[in-house]
Structures are given as structure tokens and as C-alpha cells.
Amino acid sequence: MTEEELVTWVRTRIPAHVVLFEKCRIEPTKAIKAGFQLDDELAVIELAETYGRWNKALIEVVRARRVAGEEIPQAWSDFVFDILLGIRKKPDGRGKKSQSLRDDAICDCIRQITAHTSFKATRNEAKHDRPCAVGIVSAALGGNPGYEGVERVWHDYLARRAASK
């Protein structure tokens, strides 16, 4: 495929992937209700600090347990109480953390381009004179984010992948 054909392919693939990844996401309320280990409780708080859906789900579960007279983990009670007092803030849905679905789609496109073509992931790997997957994805997104933004998303993905091994 040519660079132009790949740009067209990415333009259709990213919105489709965002929808697919959204459907594949865990339902936060069900996951929170199923957590029984201390690690689960702490992971829920970490997600609630970052993602609005998780924050809302945690508050909902704490409220339901309180009304039902069920036990509420102390860490969850403290978290919700801190939100009510204004010590902690709810995620506002803007910024880097709210772009995770888009970022997942960007990384998937870069992986597919590098796996099935001779294009390299970045300009450094492509020796600056050839197009690269990051540039193709950035062009498909109309330059928003630009090359540097897409490259940062890609490097963050590589770092997370390396850390999980």
C-alpha cells in the first residue's frame, strides 16, 4: 500500500476501533462489586481517580452498600468522603487520561502498519527520508495530534508494554 492509501485506511480504522474498544471495556460497577481483595480495592481507587466512569461507579457502589447496611472497604469510604469534602476532585474527562480509547486505536494502527508493510514506526527508524507509521497516523488524524503527539502516544505504549513484561 502507498502512504496515501494507508492514510485513508487509518482514517476509517481509528473511529471503528474507538467504538470497538468502548464495547470491549469492563463495566466498572460490575467489576467494583466483584472485587474482594485489598489489591482490587486499591485498583478501583486508582481507576476512579483517573476515569470518570469508574469514579461514578465507585460512588454508586458505596452508596448502595451504605443504604443496604453492607460493609464498605475503608479505602473506598475515605475516597468518597474526600470527594464530598473537596479534598479530592472527580476526573473532569478532559486531557490526556480521557483519550485512552483514541490512544489504543492509534497504537493498533501503528502496530498494523509496521507488521504488514515495510514502513517503520518512527522517523528515527525510517532514517528521516521515508514516511513512517507515526507520520501516516498523524496525517490521517488531520495533524491533531501532530507527529510529536502520536509519537508520544506510541512511546508511552511501548513503555507500558515493556513494564508489564
Query: Of residues 158 and 128, which shows the higher confidence score?
Result: 158
Convert the pLDDT of each residue in 109-120 to its tens digit: 999 999 988 899
pLDDT in tens, 47-58: 888 777 788 889
Query: pTM score, two decimals?
Result: 0.54
Looking at residues 70-90, what average pLDDT do you find? Answer: 88
Rounded Cα–Cα distance for residues 104 and 102 (Å): 5
Q: Are the C-beta atoms of 62 and 80 separated by less than 8 Å? A: yes
pLDDT score of 89: 79
DSSP 121: S
Distance (Å, whole) CA 145 – CA 95: 12
Minimum mean pLDDT range among 46-55, 87-96, 137-146: 87-96
* pLDDT tens column, 2-43: 888 888 888 877 777 666 666 555 666 776 776 666 667 888
What pLDDT score does 38 carry? 62
Q: Hey, is 126 helix, strand or coil?
A: helix
Indicate if the pLDDT at residue 100 is higher than 60: yes
